Amino acid sequence: MKDCFKLFIKCILISLPLVMAAAFAFIDPMGYMTQEYVLWREEKDYVNNTLADPPNTVIIGDSRAKSSIIPKELKDDMDIYNIGIGGATSIEMYYATRNFIKNSGAPKKAVVIFAPYHFCDIDNWDQTLFTNYLSLSETAEVYMNALRFGEKKIVKKGSLSDILSFKLYLPSKYLAQMYEERFTGASLRNHEKYDTIRKDLGYCEFGSDDGNDGVNYEVHHEYFDSSKLVLFYYDRLLELLSNSGTQIHILQAPINEASSKEIHPEFLAGYGDFLDDVQKRYPGAYVERDLPVYENGYFGDNNHLNRKGAEKYTSHVKNESGL
């Protein structure tokens, strides 16, 4: 009996550091996480809180939405907020928009911008799990829909254990990142970044080059090999906005000249057909079909506008879109 008791105590002592590490990972992620996490955290906080004075216009989408429009320059009264997230697809944005509407009511207008390749690639699902962006019920719903559509980027060997490990903040998922930042080394940097994003109404610059002639991700697709799961959630997103009485503006972020010369015609044709179908399904929405092409000098990296490019595109949207 004494031996069993001693074994029990030893097991507790052995597991205690792991439990403490998991607890710290849960309590203070801003202390050790990367700056990418800050983008997800800031947006999650925004859409999940009840806002006293919610904006009438929201910008929804991925990093190109986040970096292409400067809210303060688009709306003089600053009655706008960018809830886009770098790396997000329509999956995360559907839940973000649903939570925003649930907590603060439906916006009058929504600007929806996704990079065309993000209808084909779910390239940041691990980031979604790592940041614990979705609730457990939302994650379970995504997983069940991924099963339904056979989405292998989400339903794969070990995926359920990964989901559970992230939800429990197990050291196997977070200890390396905590050690890299000495547990709290990123706190000041991350809180400053958080405050900057909030001050800029959700805008964030992703590339800071004075110009970039690299080719973007769309170039690597020979045709519009869309993900059924992403299209399913995109339709759910637009349906949610439409049923809420929100005026939908589907815009296209600019691409650089270098990429425009390399994108496969079959990819562009397929993307155009997809947008035509969206227009038919949502005739009341404004759907921009063509991808604007800007000089390479307006790009901070191969995929994103720099500040100068964002100013140019924001001015275009302000003057041409009726926002």
E-only strand ranges, the chain: 57-61, 80-82, 109-113, 247-250, 255-256, 286-287, 293-294
What is d(CA 247, CA 215) in angstroms, rounded to the nearest whole number?
33
- Which among 319, 44, 60 is positioned nearest to 194, based on CA atoms? 44
How many Cβ atoms from other residues are within 10 Å of residue 19's Cβ?
11
Q: Model pTM?
A: 0.94
Q: Work out the angle at residue 156's Cα, subtended by the Cα atoms of residues 125 and 148, and round it to the nearest 5 degrees.
A: 85
DSSP symbols for 275-322: HHHHHHH-TTSEE--SPPEE-GGGBSSSSSB-HHHHHHHHHHHHHHS-
* Average pLDDT of the segment spanning 9-14: 52
Query: Domains plus CATH for the chain?
Result: 29-320 (3.40.50)
Q: How far apart are CA 14 and CA 140, in angstroms?
A: 32
pLDDT given at position 303 = 97
Tell me the per-residue pLDDT of 230-285, one tens digit each, with 9 for 90 and over. 999 999 999 999 999 999 999 999 999 999 999 999 999 999 999 999 999 999 99
1 pLDDT higher than 70: no
How high is the pLDDT of residue 75? 85
